[in-house]
Amino acid sequence: LGIFTYDPAFFSTASCTSEITYIDGDAGLLYYRGYPIEQLAEKSDFLEVCYLLLNGALPDATQKAEFVHKVTTHTIVHDQLMKFFNGFRRDAHPMAVMVGVVGALSAFYHDSLDINNPEHRDLAAMRLLGKVPTIAAMAYKYHNGYPFMYPKNKYSYVENFLYMMFATPAEEYVPNPVLVKALERIFILHADHEQNASTSTVRLAGSSGANPFACMASGIAALWGPAHGGANEAALTMLEEIGDTSKVAQFVQDVKDKKRLLMGFGHRVYKNMDPRASVMRETCYEVLKEQGLENDKLFKLAMELEKIALSDPYFIERKLYPNVDFYSGIVLRALGIPTNMFTVIFAVGRTIGWVSQWNEMMAASDRKIGRPRQLYIGATRRDFLPVDER
Ligand code: CMC
């Protein structure tokens, strides 16, 4: 192989150094900037976690207030941007709309943006944090034919997102603190996860010096797949398909016969319980109780599936445990969020991870364009023949 190593799917390649997120997959540990995810999910709030990921330390009260103010003032999108939505069919998947409309932000913020200037990068981060939830809520409203709801700055970040999703011009919106806390947790748990497929995509796109808003669109595209962020949607669809606890055993058999994958199970890095999944399972109980859904059929089904899978040698030998997406779909559904918006919610939470990782890369003194090599297995040299001689 000469000077390079063949590592398809990057099982053993570190593509960068990073100070942002630490994972110990065997021990089931996840830390943001040194803080265990469980503590952040329990005691912090999403914007504080955003500050931490972006800047490396938790903010003091003044820094926090300034940060919240900055993000809040960037929640409005340009009037022209709203016109992009009309180009999409109403039945377009909201992730397709996200790829297009977030990418379109690059047309609004390009010429005056110097990506080598830390202040400009910070402004790009504030714009993304402010505008991605607005675009996500608009994608939902557009899909359903409802009028867009402009952001309201009197609300917290998460309250405002729920407001833009569920409020209508005709009715007063009253945020439910239990549901707000649940979504806050979902965002915190999804905020960063080191060099996963979408983050690596953002870094690779950004390494060429490309516009950061366009880079985020590339991350959204990578996130969409069912092996990555699309797993929450796929996991819930799977539970709906199984439909009844009596069908769980047959389903598990199909998985063992390699006819299906158990969506929401397994992870490239975690060979132990995904620590995010434990927090999410607790959140499931809280939200279902609040919504009067303690006997929720799909949750019961998920618990049964988990019990069978965790005691089956097939899953034990392969170290397959539930990941965060096994439960997040149930919580999102209980919040009233439709299945095709699940991965969009993941993208809203992950935006801070993408932009923090992009910023870290851009700030590095040894930045180089990412350029993997390949193992060529095609034809050897041959001579061109004119078409009538082939
Ligand atoms: N159901 C059944 N078998 C599985 C599963 C699963 N979900 N995941 C892996 N396996 C089996 C796989 O068939 C293989 O078996 P064998 O050794 O007999 O060939 C073995 O376990 C190792 O799997 P792998 O494909 O080498 O593992 P990977 O690291 O390439 O894939 C994964 C990781 C997450 C893509 C995979 O586990 C998967 O597709 N899971 C379902 C989708 C999912 O839940 N994804 C969300 C990940 S967490 C959120 C995020 O970070 O985006």
Compute the distance from residue 261 Cα to the ligand 1 centre, in Å. 8
Which ipTM was obtained for this model? 0.96
Ligand 1: does its nearest atom lie under 6 Å from the Cβ of 231?
A: yes
Ligand 1: does its nearest atom lie under 6 Å from the Cβ of 228?
A: yes
Ligand 1: does its nearest atom lie under 6 Å from the Cβ of 255?
A: yes
Nearest CA to ligand 1 atom 20: 318
What is the pTM for the complete model shown?
0.95
Compute the distance from residue 168 Cα to the ligand 1 centre, in Å. 41
Two structure tokens written together for 72 = 């809040």
Model pLDDT for residues 28-57, shown as the tens digit of each residue: 999 999 999 999 999 999 999 999 999 999
Nearest CA to ligand 1 atom 41: 263
Q: What is the CA radius of gyration of the chain?
A: 22
Compute the distance from residue 231 Cα to the ligand 1 centre, in Å. 11
Compute the distance from residue 265 Cα to the ligand 1 centre, in Å. 7
Count CA within 13 A, CB hemisphere, residue 89.
4
The residues pairing with 29 across neighbouring beta strands, listed in sequence order, are 24
Model pLDDT for residues 108-126, shown as the tens digit of each residue: 999 889 999 999 999 999 9
DSSP one-letter code for 373: -
Residue type, 114: D
The catalytic residues are 267, 325
Compute the distance from residue 263 Cα to the ligand 1 centre, in Å. 8
Ligand 1: does its nearest atom lie under 6 Å from the Cβ of 265?
A: yes
Q: How confident is the model at residue 172 (pLDDT cuts 50, 70, 90)?
A: confident
Is it the case that residue 4 has pLDDT exceeding 90? no
Distance of alpha carbon 166 from alpha carbon 147, whole angstroms: 11
Model pLDDT for residues 329-385, shown as the tens digit of each residue: 999 999 999 999 999 999 999 999 999 999 999 999 989 999 999 999 999 999 999
Ligand 1: does its nearest atom lie under 6 Å from the Cβ of 215?
A: no
| CB-count exposure of residue 318 (10 Å: 0-12, 13-18, 19+) | exposed
- CA 136, 139, 144, 145 dihedral sign is positive
| CB-count exposure of residue 172 (10 Å: 0-12, 13-18, 19+) | exposed
Ligand 1: does its nearest atom lie under 6 Å from the Cβ of 206?
A: no
Distance of alpha carbon 344 from alpha carbon 95, whole angstroms: 6
Nearest CA to ligand 1 atom 12: 318
